C-alpha cells in the first residue's frame, strides 16, 4: 500500500509544472456539427412521440435550439497542443471563478474555499500530463457531476486567459461570472423581478454564457468574449455533445451588432484512466469592442461612479428582413446605447470579485447592485460569517490584505490565505459616503504591473507555496500547528 504523502510534500508538488493536453483541430468542428444535428433530430423525435402518446394531432414543430454558428479551431499562435502551468495556478484560477456565484454550500465570502478540495485530485503522470489521482477518482465516484463541472471551469478559465493574452498582447484579461454581471441589467428569472407585482419581463431563457472575459486597457473600449465551459468523465464523444450545448449557451448573449459576438467554448474530458484533455473551439465574431456610438461623450464611461442597476427589455434584436420587423429572440442583447453602462458594470463586477476574494463583504457590496447581491454581501463582514478581511501577509516580497481558512490535509492542519495586493485593495475599499471605490485607479495600477505577473514560488518566511495572479490576487498555503484545548 502506497504511503500517504506528508502535507509539506503535497504543497511542494503544487509548484511543479504540469501539462494540460488540448484539442482544437479542424476535425473537432465537424464532430461538434454532427453532435448538434444528432441532438436536434433526437428532440424532433421526442416531440413527435409525445404528440402521438397524447393522441393528438402533431403539434407545430418547435424551432431548433439556436446555436452559435461559424465555430472554428483555434490557431496555434493562441492555443498549442498542450499548455504548461504550476498546479497551484489552476487552483487559484478556480477559486477566483467561484467568488460571487452564491451557489455552493460554503456561501458568501467563503465560496472560493471550495477549490481546496482539489489539491490532490490531479497528478502529473506520463510526460507530466495531468491525470485524475486516486483521490480524484474517488471523488468522481461520489460527486461526479460537481467535480467535472468545477474542474471543467478551472481548465477553461486558465486556457481562456492564455488564449486571450496571446490574441491581445499588452491588454489585461478579466473574467467574471456571467449571471452576476448580467443581473445588473436584466432580471434573469421571474423571481428576480423587483417586486411580486412588477410586471416587467424577465429573461427566463436558460442558455447563457457561464463567464464573460473582458479584454481591457485603461481609457479604451473593452473587448467582450462570452465563455461557455463544461466537463465530463466519459470521453471525447460526450465532449462533442457538450461543445454543441456550449454553442447554444454563448449565443444567449449578443453584444453590439446581430450575430457578431465572438466566443470561446470548452469541454474538459476527465477520464478515470487517461490524461485530462481540454477540447476548445471559438467563434471569431466581428468588431467586438464596446465603441461608444458617434456623438457620445467618452466621459460617459465613469468607472468611479456607483454601480447602476438598469432594466433592459429581454430579447435579442434581429435585423429587419425585406422591411419586415422580426420578433426578438430569447436572450440578452447589449445594444450600442448600453455600451458605457456595460463597461462600467463589468469593471465593477470584476472589482467586487477581487475584494470578495480578500474577504471584505462591505467593499464587495458597494461595488454591486441590489440584484447582483449587494444586500447579501453586506451581511458578510463579521468573523462568524466564515470569511472576513482582517489579516495581512508579505508574500514573495509584496504586501497583501485578505482572509484565511484552516483545514486538514492528510491529517495535518493547513492554512490557506487569499487576498489582494494591499495598495490595490485600498483603492477599492472606499470608506464612508465621501470616498467611493477608485476603480479607475485600481485598473490603471493593475495594468501597469501586468508584465511582472503572474508569479509562483515557495516563500520560506511564509512556509509554503504562493501564487500571485495577474490581477494582483494571491493564494498561499502552508502547514500550521494547532493546539487543542479541552473544554
- Does the pLDDT of residue 102 top 70, yes or no? no
Per this entry, what is the length of the chain? Answer: 487
Q: Residue 369: how many CB atoms within 10 A of its CB?
A: 20
| pLDDT tens per residue across span 28-80 | 999 999 999 998 888 878 877 776 776 665 556 677 889 999 999 999 999 99
CA angle 167, 180, 432 (to 5 degrees): 105
Q: Residue 47: how many CB atoms within 10 A of its CB?
A: 15
> Residue 329's closest CA among 226, 262, 265, 259?
259
- What b/e readout covers 179-206, taking b as 16+ CB neighbours within 10 angstroms? bbbbbbbbbbeeeebeeeeeeeeebebe
Q: Residue 321: how many CB atoms within 10 A of its CB?
A: 8
Mean pLDDT of 390-394: 86
pLDDT of residue 201: 74
pLDDT band at 486 (very low <50, low <70, confident <90, very high): low
pLDDT of residue 114: 79
C-alpha cell of 300? 460617459
**Residues 271, 266: Cα–Cα separation, whole Å:** 16
**Residues 79, 382: Cα–Cα separation, whole Å:** 43
**Residues 20, 93: Cα–Cα separation, whole Å:** 14
The residues facing 129 across adjacent strands are: 19
Of the chain, the percentage scoring pLDDT greater than 70 comes to 89
pLDDT of residue 35: 95
Of the chain, the percentage scoring pLDDT greater than 90 comes to 59
pLDDT of residue 146: 87
pLDDT of residue 117: 86
pLDDT of residue 384: 36
Cα 19 to Cα 159, 292, 445, distances in angstroms = 12, 41, 31
- Does the pLDDT of residue 305 top 90, yes or no? yes
| pLDDT tens per residue across span 119-168 | 988 888 877 888 988 888 887 676 788 889 999 999 999 999 999 999 99
> Residue 453's closest CA among 163, 173, 91?
173
Rg (CA), the chain: 23
16 or 141: which leads in pLDDT: 16
Mean pLDDT of 203-220: 92
**Residues 31, 103: Cα–Cα separation, whole Å:** 33
> For 284-397, where are the E strands, in sequence order?
332-334, 391-395
Return mean pLDDT, the chain.
Answer: 87
Q: Which residue has the cell 473551439?
A: 281
pLDDT of residue 143: 78
- Does the pLDDT of residue 179 top 50, yes or no? yes
Lowest mean pLDDT among 184-193, 255-264, 357-366, 420-429: 184-193
| pLDDT tens per residue across span 331-364 | 999 999 999 999 999 999 999 999 999 988 889 9
Lowest mean pLDDT among 31-45, 74-88, 368-382: 368-382
Mean pLDDT of 434-463: 91
- Does the pLDDT of residue 106 top 50, yes or no? no
Phi, psi at 447, each rounded to 5°: -70, -40
- Does the pLDDT of residue 383 top 70, yes or no? no
| pLDDT tens per residue across span 291-302 | 988 777 777 789
H helix runs in 205-295, sequence order: 236-250
Task: Supply the DSSP symbol for 72.
Answer: B
481 or 447: which leads in pLDDT: 447
Burial class (CB in 10 A: 0-12, 13-18, 19+), 56: exposed
Mean pLDDT of 100-105: 62
Mean pLDDT of 242-251: 97
Cβ neighbors of 400 (< 8 A, separation 6 or more) are: 392, 393, 394, 417, 419, 420, 421, 422, 425, 474
C-alpha cell of 248? 447554444
pLDDT of residue 485: 58
> Residue 12's closest CA among 474, 464, 475, 346?
464
pTM: 0.91
Amino acid at each position: 500500500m502506497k504511503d500517504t504523502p506528508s502535507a509539506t510534500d503535497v504543497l511542494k508538488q503544487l509548484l511543479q509544472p504540469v501539462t494540460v493536453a488540448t484539442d482544437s483541430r479542424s476535425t473537432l468542428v465537424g464532430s461538434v456539427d454532427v453532435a448538434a444535428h444528432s441532438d436536434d433530430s433526437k428532440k424532433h423525435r421526442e416531440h413527435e412521440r409525445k404528440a402521438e402518446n397524447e393522441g393528438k394531432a402533431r403539434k407545430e414543430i418547435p424551432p431548433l435550439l439556436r446555436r452559435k454558428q461559424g465555430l472554428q479551431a483555434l490557431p496555434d499562435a493562441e492555443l498549442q497542443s498542450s499548455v504548461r502551468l504550476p498546479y497551484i495556478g489552476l487552483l487559484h484560477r478556480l477559486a477566483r471563478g467561484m467568488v460571487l456565484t452564491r451557489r455552493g454550500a460554503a456561501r458568501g465570502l467563503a465560496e472560493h474555499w471550495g477549490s481546496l478540495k482539489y489539491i490532490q485530485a490531479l497528478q502529473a503522470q506520463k510526460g507530466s500530463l495531468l491525470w485524475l489521482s486516486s483521490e480524484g477518482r474517488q471523488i468522481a465516484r461520489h460527486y461526479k457531476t460537481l467535480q467535472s463541472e468545477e474542474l471543467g471551469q478551472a481548465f477553461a478559465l486558465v486556457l481562456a486567459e492564455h488564449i486571450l493574452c496571446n490574441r491581445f498582447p499588452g491588454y489585461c484579461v478579466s473574467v467574471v461570472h456571467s449571471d452576476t454581471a448580467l443581473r445588473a441589467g436584466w432580471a434573469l428569472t421571474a423571481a428576480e423581478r423587483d417586486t411580486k407585482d412588477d410586471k416587467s419581463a424577465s429573461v427566463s431563457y436558460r442558455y447563457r454564457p457561464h463567464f464573460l472575459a473582458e479584454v481591457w486597457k485603461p481609457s479604451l473600449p473593452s473587448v467582450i468574449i462570452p465563455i461557455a465551459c463544461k466537463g465530463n468523465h466519459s470521453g471525447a464523444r460526450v465532449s462533442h455533445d457538450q461543445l454543441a450545448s456550449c454553442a447554444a449557451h454563448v449565443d444567449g448573449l449578443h453584444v453590439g451588432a446581430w450575430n457578431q459576438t465572438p466566443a470561446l467554448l470548452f469541454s474538459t474530458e476527465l477520464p478515470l484512466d487517461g490524461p485530462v484533455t481540454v477540447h476548445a473551439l471559438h467563434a471569431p465574431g466581428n468588431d467586438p469592442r464596446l465603441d461608444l456610438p458617434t456623438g457620445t461623450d467618452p466621459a460617459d464611461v465613469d468607472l468611479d461612479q456607483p454601480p447602476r442597476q438598469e432594466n433592459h427589455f429581454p430579447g435579442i434584436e434581429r435585423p429587419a428582413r425585406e422591411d419586415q420587423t422580426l420578433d426578438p429572440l430569447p436572450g440578452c442583447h447589449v445594444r450600442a446605447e448600453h455600451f458605457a453602462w456595460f463597461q462600467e458594470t463589468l469593471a465593477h463586477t470584476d472589482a467586487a470579485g477581487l475584494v470578495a476574494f480578500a474577504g471584505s463583504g462591505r467593499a464587495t457590496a458597494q461595488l454591486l447592485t441590489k440584484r447582483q447581491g449587494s444586500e447579501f454581501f453586506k451581511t458578510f463582514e463579521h468573523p462568524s460569517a466564515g470569511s472576513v478581511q482582517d489579516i495581512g501577509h508579505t508574500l514573495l516580497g509584496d504586501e497583501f490584505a485578505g482572509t484565511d481558512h484552516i483545514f486538514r490535509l492528510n491529517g495535518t492542519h493547513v492554512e490557506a490565505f487569499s487576498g489582494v495586493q494591499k495598495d490595490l485593495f485600498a483603492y477599492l475599499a472606499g470608506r464612508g459616503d465621501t470616498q467611493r471605490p477608485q476603480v479607475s485607479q485600481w485598473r490603471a495600477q493593475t495594468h501597469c504591473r501586468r508584465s511582472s505577473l503572474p508569479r509562483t514560488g515557495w516563500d520560506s518566511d511564509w512556509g509554503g507555496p504562493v501564487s500571485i495572479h495577474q490581477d494582483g490576487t494571491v493564494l498561499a498555503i502552508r502547514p500550521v500547528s494547532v493546539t487543542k484545548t479541552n473544554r
